[in-house]
Chain A
């Protein structure tokens, strides 16, 4: 049951007025009462009608008023009347020229003569007009009828329909007829009932709802000021996840979904794990000082003597060179995360497992838009008896799909620790084919160094993920990935591909 009906102040005034009047009221009347233009009232009226409180009756009326000509004849008399008077006051025969002297123009004279001839009061002879003596009463009656009409319409008069005479006068251009749309407002029975029960309440216009208004119940009489949503509002300065840690989470989610476990490993490594156990000969150019950060003031203890011994045998037996233990024991900042994978195989040994690591690696470089001395690698291995190169390629395809890139292409590649080795490319809508998935099957020599039984195989991959991070986050400059500049952090949007996947 409706408790009460709260109306904005103006609407309340309208319904109150109507109820008091008890009958239909013209909108003009309401407009006068409220001191508001009719056009401004319409919105309130439509709302009230939609609430079934009022009924609007729209009608069309006709306003008849005198034209300029009508006003003139009202003052001077009708021209036919004036012509007749002139003829009767002097000679019965007058030239047309002479008639002009009484202050009528050619058209008026023509029209006047037409009227007079209709009543048989004049006739034309060449350029002269001759008065015919005849009964005048019919003519005078018509003249006085027209004049009476002019007189009565000196002020405009509204008609429900256009009277017959108005057409004649309109033809003579003595009057003008205008359509007038009129709205009449009636209170509905519903309104009258609610009003009599005191259920219609005048509301209070407010801009902010307050807790006081909520508690006191004043909100019940509240009418909320409407907002203009076109007005620009300021934006907040966000507190955001740094774009790179957000990207890391996104990538980790994908890998966890694919059944990978996260593993971590040391940043500072021995050459044994970073190179030798991975079958990289000590003379390999990737071990040069230009490509590796060597560390003198720290030394990673090589505790895995068995790995050291097996690695020595493998290098001496396969590569056949003077392998040096002191070189293998040198300390470096890891240049890739592959040692993390290899350490995991060493620790876990035989089994069926998938692990990944997403972590930092270091290579000497001078930072510029495309190079960094420290960057991330996404590394992973699939270990098992039935793991194949074919599956690795399939994994790349699936991973690319989950990263939002459907087209994948593979090319042969070389990495010292994998055979076969592959480089996977994905097609980016703007950048074309980009190199993203290096990987391969760990060489038997690598697996032998950590004593994985030969029936187990390992598909391995190590992605330079920052390239992908740049593409996903929309950066042209790789340095922005690691920026602590709040202007950059706050203006970096969360990419659609992350939002969709997350």
Chain B
């Protein structure tokens, strides 16, 4: 969740009201934002992912003003296009681009800072770190429309923050952003935004140009979004356009038409969406109808314009920056927030049926109790474990994660034997004798690459005096208590000493193994005590109960 830094005085001037800190904290809650830090006039809050309009002071000030009633919800008037964006030569792999123009701006240092913060926070969240959408802003008085979005083999310009002109290849090699985002462009099929005089605005999604950047003197901006997801791009463009227009007393937003194939004939598309909410649905979702209890102003304070209100329905206009509002349930949530969650708490209706624990889980509980009764101590381990240990113990395949953070936890255990052995290792220096068990799940990987899930019971007896006999004693005692008849059959496993490895058979089917762990494996794992180990399949034991 993005952390946003604003100045209280800046938020106040946008909200058009003085604000106390308490007031701000309370309002932040209704906007799903949490106050993180206050440093003098600086306020840091964590904005919710679904409210990108909160990623800068403009959106926050607007929402706070509307909530408090010091501001009316904004009506965005969009002027018809006087220029166009040509996308007919756009790169195939990033084919979309849209523009918006905002005029009549009054910027200062803080305003510029906020606009760039918004751009950055959007990039890291909605824009998929520029993969789906890349945003840019330019001083319109320094460029000559119409603007073209083209694919080029190479070009040169002075990138933002650099003194000298570089080629696109150089930018990818030499600049920080170039190195970071080079994977998003194809070699010598570079996307480029240029004006009618071939002046470069931007090499999206890498770096804008220094020469037409937005400064405190900028009065008119052109905003671009380029990328792969046109609808997402349009939403992002709406957020940036409406936020930037907060920096004007009399904002003037101008559409730009699109030349070439495009999902939208022009941009931005700032028409408010209209959502109809059935009031009986409100009651059935929330348990009450907040409009009936407290009145329709609950919606207005959240920025909605009520178009009509009747006993059975309410129709609202959703402001274009509320890109999180997809349907009536989103409006209903705002209604509930405005009403106050803490006033909504109701009672619990009696359950429609009895509660029940999963039968195998319940059986596993009894197995644990029996093992404790036999004098073994329960241990617990992660399912994620070291692939080297798994490979050492068995030749069977297991699941590996593609993107581990640590090798030690990069495979999913396919048996409890490795985790019992690792538990022996953890404890053997502290205890002369160890008698431990674990009940837990493992994931097997079949030849068809399909995972299967098994619950296992494993135990380990570690110390100088333990042999297979001790392992068999525990097994016999367990099986006696469970009333399961079993047979033993010699087996051979890499894990176990030859001649000291047995398979446990119930009704002719193998349900597990008992044996003494081979010295090679003990030494490889740095376990310096003899260890007898057993592993049983819990589900097979469970079904054997009825045999």
Contact = CB atoms under 8 A, between A and B. Distances in A.
A286 to B, nearest CB: 8
Contacts of B427: 484-486
Interface in B309-355: 326-327, 329-330, 332-333, 336-337, 341-342, 344-355
Counting chain B CB atoms within 10 Å of each CB, which of A353, A390, A489 scores highest?
A: A390
Contact-residue size bin, chain A (C-beta under 8 Å from the other chain): 35 or more
Given A244-B380, A388-B346, A391-B347, A285 B375 contact: no
A299 B399 CA distance: 10
A398 interface: yes
B397 interface: yes
Given A289-B403, A295-B401, A353-B352, A321 B229 contact: yes
B450 A389 contact: no
A69 interface: no
A373 B384 contact: yes
A441 B285 contact: yes
A241 to B, nearest CB: 6
A299 B327 contact: no
A483 B403 contact: no
Contact of A283 (B232, B400, B423): B232
A257 B351 CA distance: 9
B379 A239 contact: no
B356 A261 contact: yes
B182 to A, nearest CB: 18
Contact of B405 (A252, A365, A398): A365
Given A293-B403, A322-B229, 4 more contacts: A240-B377, A268-B443, A318-B326, A394-B347
A410 B32 CA distance: 12
Contact of A414 (B49, B132, B342, B422): B49
Contacts of B438: 484
A297 B403 CA distance: 12
B346 A268 contact: no
A312 interface: no
A245 interface: yes
Interface in A350-392: 352-354, 360, 362, 364-367, 373-374, 384, 386, 388-391
B400 A296 contact: yes
Given A283-B229, A486-B427, A240 B372 contact: yes
Given A283-B128, A321-B231, A391-B347, A412 B355 contact: no
B449 interface: yes
Interface of A: 239-242, 244-245, 249, 252, 255-264, 266-268, 283, 285, 289, 293-301, 318-322, 333, 352-354, 360, 362, 364-367, 373-374, 384, 386, 388-391, 393-395, 397-398, 408-414, 416, 419-422, 441, 443-445, 457, 482-487, 489-490
Contacts of A393: 341, 344-346
B400 A394 contact: no
Nearest to B355: A256
Interface residues of B, number: 90
B351 A354 contact: yes
B378 A242 contact: yes
B333 A420 contact: yes
Q: Considering the complex of A and B, which 4 residue pairs feature the smallest CB-CB distances, nearest first?
A: A259-B351, A390-B287, A256-B355, A388-B287
B135 interface: no
A374 B377 contact: no
A300 B32 contact: no
A420 B356 contact: no
8 contacts: A241-B368, A244-B380, A258-B351, A262-B358, A299-B449, A320-B231, A390-B286, A390-B287
A333 B327 CA distance: 31
B439 to A, nearest CB: 8
Nearest to A487: B430
Nearest to A241: B378
A457 B284 contact: yes
Contact of A259 (B51, B354, B431): B354
Interface in B179-228: 228
A345 B110 CA distance: 50
A337 to B, nearest CB: 13
B50 interface: yes
B176 to A, nearest CB: 20
B528 interface: no
Interface of A is mostly: mixed
A482 B382 contact: yes
B399 A295 contact: yes
Contacts of A353: 352-353
Given A240-B378, A242-B379, A390-B287, A295 B229 contact: no
B350 A486 contact: no
B257 to A, nearest CB: 21
Nearest to A243: B380
Nearest to A286: B49
Contacts of B350: 259
Contacts of B124: 285
Contact of B132 (A283, A297, A482, A490): A283
Nearest to A441: B285
A445 B48 CA distance: 21
A280 B475 CA distance: 48
Given A390-B286, A390-B288, A420-B337, A333 B346 contact: no
B477 interface: no
B114 interface: no
A283 B336 CA distance: 28
A390 B345 CA distance: 5
B523 interface: no
A268 B444 CA distance: 11
B319 to A, nearest CB: 18
Contact of A262 (B131, B357, B378): B357
Contacts of B30: 412
B383 interface: yes
B414 to A, nearest CB: 11
Contacts of B445: 297-298
A414 B449 CA distance: 35
B451 interface: yes
Contacts of A321: 132, 229, 231-232
A429 B451 CA distance: 44
Contact of B401 (A294, A301, A398, A414): A294
Contacts of B336: 389, 412, 420
Nearest to B286: A389
B358 A388 contact: no
Interface in B503-530: none
A457 B285 contact: yes
Interface string B483-504: 0000000000000000000000
Interface in B1-53: 29-30, 32, 48-51
A268 B445 CA distance: 11
A239 B375 contact: yes
Considering residues A360, A391, A422, A484, which has the most beta carbons from chain B within 10 angstroms of its beta carbon?
Answer: A484
A374 B345 contact: no
A150 B346 CA distance: 102
Nearest to B358: A262
Nearest to A358: B361
Given A261-B355, A322-B229, A362 B384 contact: yes
B406 interface: yes
